[in-house]
Amino acid sequence: MAEKIKPWYTQNSTRWAHFRSVPFKRLWVLMAGVFLLFSVVGPFFDLIETNGEMPYLVVLTIAVTSGINAVLWLLVLAKLSRLFFIGLIVLEFLNTPLNAFLSKWMIGAFHLQAVPSQTGTRFAATSTMCAVLVSYILFVIYIRREGLETFRMANELALAHGIQKTLVPPVTLRSACFEVYGISCPSDKVGGDLVDALFLSNGDAVAYVADIAGHGLQAGILMGMLKTAARTALLEAGEREPQRTLPVLLDRLNTVLPEVKESHMYATFAGFRLGADGTVFYALAASPPLLQWHASGSTMTNIEKEQFPLGLLPVSSFDGYTLETLPGDLLVVATDGILEAANKGGEEFGVERLKGIIPANAGDALPALAAKILAAANAFGSQFDDQTLLLVRRL
């Protein structure tokens, strides 16, 4: 769905995300700089209202209250609940009366005298220059520290992107009866989609797509774990009954994943066991529809099965099914990143548009067909999630 415009007071997920993630031990430098920068309100007020004759203690008091007020705004925007906005707004109305009260009280309590105009003006100008200069130095220190941190994180993301390319390269596999092609295009440098294909010991092949909920580094790590677990579970699958290969794989993944992930994360799955004799067995776990193009009749079939995703609930068992294919038939699995690509009006690319691309291009080489599908989805709307395709053709 298209992203709706939120009110200004709720637009903080991205605008203030950096400050929310910075610990106080690094944020204090910025707060000190903000304090000093806004403390110049004190000497500025002295110059405007009294031409530099305000007692020094009163000037410093106004400077301190102004600096604290600015820091409170930064804290609320960066760290605290938006409910504190109410208190800050009230404080803004009380600021001037509070400063006036403090000034009057200090003059009476400490018997403060007016400062000569020339001397006070020099003090106001000098203190303003010093506050601005020191605040500038603190801002530079903060930017430099955060720049180094950002550079470090960029290096780590680049490394993770390299690992991603190693774990999820374009997949090509060809057996006596099938050819397989898979490709994944992450929305971030690190994605959570996985496409994989491998031969079993008896000559059959397994091809599958898994989609980790979310994207980014966290989803990428879980994706790597899932690929390792899947390949390990399939080591002895060549000797197992073909129709039980994928259900057993899903059962094992659903048992292992909850122990290595956060509670809200899960994975969808669509997979095939492709027999050397042309048989096909498949299994789905909360996956988008599987599309089958029938070459003999030039028709399209949607295949959907209701099943829980992996790693979310302790499901007792998963089911597998037989799929009849003929030479020239094409099986297509696309993840949500393709189907949910949305235009500016909020309309999604959807299954029907995907189905409209396949008939005219069913005879193309699988990489060319994948490229056309991805190009159509990206031309229709922006990519918000990882886009992954698995194509299987019966030879």
Q: Please state at what angle helix 217-233 crosses helix 245-256, rounded to 10 degrees.
A: 130
Q: Say if residue 191 is in the same domain as residue 149.
A: no
- Looking up tokens 């960029």 gives 154
pLDDT confidence tier of residue 97, bands split at 50, 70 and 90: confident
Query: For the residues 277-294, what does the mean pLDDT come to?
Result: 95
pTM for the complete prediction? 0.67
Q: What is the DSSP letter of 169?
A: P
Give residue 351's pLDDT.
Answer: 94
Answer for the pair 302, 289: CB distance below 8 angstroms, yes or no: yes
Q: Say if residue 251 is in the same domain as residue 354.
A: yes
- Looking up tokens 């031309």 gives 379
Instruction: Give 348-381 pLDDT, tens digit per residue.
Output: 999 999 999 999 999 999 999 999 999 999 999 8
Instruction: Give 266-283 pLDDT, tens digit per residue.
Output: 999 999 999 999 999 999
d(CA 250, CA 378): 31
Q: Mean pLDDT of all residues in the chain?
A: 87
Q: Say if residue 151 is in the same domain as residue 192.
A: no
Better-scored residue on pLDDT, 291 or 185: 291
Which helix (H) or strand (E) segment holds residue 250: the answer is: helix 245-256
Q: Is there a domain that residue 235 lies in?
A: yes
Look up the domain containing 44 and give its range: 8-157
Query: For the residues 91-115, what does the mean pLDDT come to?
Result: 85
Q: Domain end: 105, 137, 157, which one?
A: 157
CA dihedral 129, 135, 139, 141 (to 10 degrees): 100
Q: Domain end: 110, 128, 157, which one?
A: 157
Q: What are phi and psi of 101, to 5 degrees?
A: -65, -45
Answer for the pair 222, 213: CB distance below 8 angstroms, yes or no: no
Q: Look at residue 344 and give its three-state secondary structure.
A: coil
Residue 253 exposed, middle or buried by CB count within 10 Å (0-12, 13-18, 19+)? buried
In this structure, what token pair is assigned to residue 254?
């659903």
The residues, any chain, with a CB within 8 Å of residue 297's CB and separated by 6 or more, are none
d(CA 312, CA 319): 17
Give residue 162's pLDDT.
Answer: 67
Q: Are strands 387-394 and 178-185 parallel, antiparallel or unpaired?
A: antiparallel
Q: Say if residue 205 is in the same domain as residue 119.
A: no
Q: Say if residue 33 is in the same domain as residue 71.
A: yes
Better-scored residue on pLDDT, 313 or 168: 313
Give residue 163's pLDDT.
Answer: 66
Q: Say if residue 143 is in the same domain as residue 226.
A: no
Q: Is there a domain that residue 386 lies in?
A: yes
Q: Say if residue 153 is in the same domain as residue 176.
A: no
Q: Say if residue 83 is in the same domain as residue 12.
A: yes
In this structure, what token pair is assigned to residue 334?
């696309």
Q: Say if residue 187 is in the same domain as residue 327.
A: yes
d(CA 177, CA 210): 24
Q: Say if residue 127 is in the same domain as residue 275.
A: no
Answer for the pair 269, 210: CB distance below 8 angstroms, yes or no: yes
In this structure, what token pair is assigned to residue 359?
């008939």
Long-range contacts made by residues 14-23, C-beta under 8 angstroms, separation at least 24? 16/77, 16/78, 18/146, 19/74, 19/77, 19/78, 19/79, 20/78, 20/79, 22/78, 22/146
Q: Domain end: 128, 157, 186, which one?
A: 157
Query: For the residues 12-34, what does the mean pLDDT come to?
Result: 74
Instruction: Give 78-96 pLDDT, tens digit per residue.
Output: 777 767 777 778 887 887 8
Q: Say if residue 88 is in the same domain as residue 209.
A: no
